[in-house]
Amino acid sequence: MLGYYFHLALRSFRRNKVLTALMVLAIALGIGASMTTLTVFHVLSGDPIPGKSGRLFHVQLDPQPLQGHQPGEEPTELLTRFDAQELLRERHALRQTQTNGGVVTVEPDDSAVKPFRIASRNVTADFFPMFETPFVHGRGWSADDDEARARVVVIGKKLNDQLFGGADSSGRTLRIDGYDFRVVGVLADWKPTPKFFDFSGGRFASNEQVYEPFSVARELGQSHNGSVNCYKVASDQMALNAPCTWIHYWVELESAAQAADFKAYLDNYSARQRDAGRFERPPNTRLRDVMQWLDHKRVVPGDVRLQLWFSLGLLLVCLVNTVGLLLAKFLRRSGEIGVRRALGASRGAIFRQCLVEAGTIGLAGGALGLGLAALGLWAIRNRPAEYAHLARLDGSMLVLTFVLALAASLLAGLLPAWRAMRVAPALQLKSQ
């Protein structure tokens, strides 16, 4: 029967081309606008490390002076070097890493290629297994390498292609800032979206191509690239005991249930530092998992949320208009419906026929709406927004487009179909 209802729907479309076109256009406009903003929202609010985000936590302490303190206020997002290294030494988590951005000068072996500056990242050994970084060649370094301040380096695929022609460069020497480093691994194209572990270079920026041991970067006095907040005068902001916060600290716990215990450990650590005279404020710590951290940092811009609500409102308006058009279309065929009822068609059959017609309009509107959404996303990609290059339809959003269009049209068709099935056949036959 479904095929028969579809055949009847096509015949109805041919008889009412203008009305059908208006309904398809109404659905398409609503779907196009809503899918454009939904796609952007989907990209920006997605989980950058699914399956593990609930076990990775960003650590915050409050080492600032008591002056100006307000109970309950948000502590600084970064740690001092002393605190980061103390937490790393005490190792109360399954894995932990301190990290900051930097800038280094790479000196290629080929004398024809001039040295160039490139963004780097200083991390500790757990960074790679914690964030599940994919390797093309080799691996990350070990905790023993951190302790020994071994001059090892992990590079990105792009840099490996540029310097070594894409070959396995593990064991090769790379000269950085005038010092020789041994390449131990090459990362694949790895770009979590957003770049949750450090937003200093941009929330949706590309990852660095050079990863060095944190201890080596500090031993060589390499440049820091990121935020620094000094709450007292410091001659050397990067020194071990400098009163400056500039390091992101992340931990991996065995389960999310351990977060309360680790938070208690951070409070205890803060109390111990206060007793030692380093901290002046009462314990004021934060421990947020990846998604909580993204929500705290408001990674999804406010204008994107606003546009999403506006587009959903437009879809609702389009549905209301479609309800009116379908109602006019079905009731105009009251005579035809009355004849079918008199010949034995049940109310349920009339209801299903009308819903099939509404669903067919929805699928046509979805196809046109998909084109409008693609056009809208193209317009967004040409905007100067930081996230613009991410505005692309993926497979899940493509399926959602047609599911939403079909659901919207069926919803819009419920009232008109119900009114159509209640047409009294006797009254319609008398009027013929």
Q: What is the pLDDT of residue 298?
A: 87
Q: How confident is the model at residue 125 (pLDDT cuts 50, 70, 90)?
A: very high
Q: How confident is the model at residue 130 (pLDDT cuts 50, 70, 90)?
A: very high
The strand pairing partners of 57, in sequence order, are 251, 289
Q: What is the pLDDT of residue 383?
A: 80
Q: What is the pLDDT of residue 178?
A: 93
Identity of residue 114: K
Instruction: Determine the average pLDDT of the residues in 161-186.
Output: 94
State the average pLDDT for the chain: 86
Burial class of 155 by CB neighbour count within 10 A (0 to 12, 13 to 18, 19+): buried
Q: What is the pLDDT of residue 426?
A: 47
Of 149-163, 234-248, 298-312, the one with minimum mean pLDDT is: 298-312
- Which alpha helices (DSSP H) does 46-156 contain, by range? 81-90, 127-130, 143-148
For CA atoms 370, 304, 131, 118, give the dihedral sign.
positive
Q: What is the pLDDT of residues 389-428, one digit of tens each?
A: 777 877 778 888 888 888 888 888 777 777 766 665 544 4
Q: Which of 390, 366, 385, 372 is nearest to 23 (CA)?
A: 366
- Long-range CB pairs of 235-241 (<8 Å, 24+ gap) are 238/81, 239/81, 240/81, 240/82, 240/85, 241/81, 241/82
Q: Which of 127, 425, 380, 384 is nearest to 247 (CA)?
A: 127
Q: Which of 24, 13, 14 is nearest to 408 (CA)?
A: 24
Q: What is the pLDDT of residue 326?
A: 79
Element (H, E) at 107: strand 95-107
Q: How confident is the model at residue 142 (pLDDT cuts 50, 70, 90)?
A: very high
Distance of CA 419 to the CA centre of its chain: 44
Q: How confident is the model at residue 430 (pLDDT cuts 50, 70, 90)?
A: very low
Q: What is the pLDDT of residues 185-226, one digit of tens each?
A: 999 988 888 889 998 877 777 789 999 999 999 999 999 988
Q: What is the pLDDT of residues 249-307, one digit of tens each?
A: 999 999 988 999 999 999 999 999 999 999 999 999 999 999 999 999 888 777 788 88
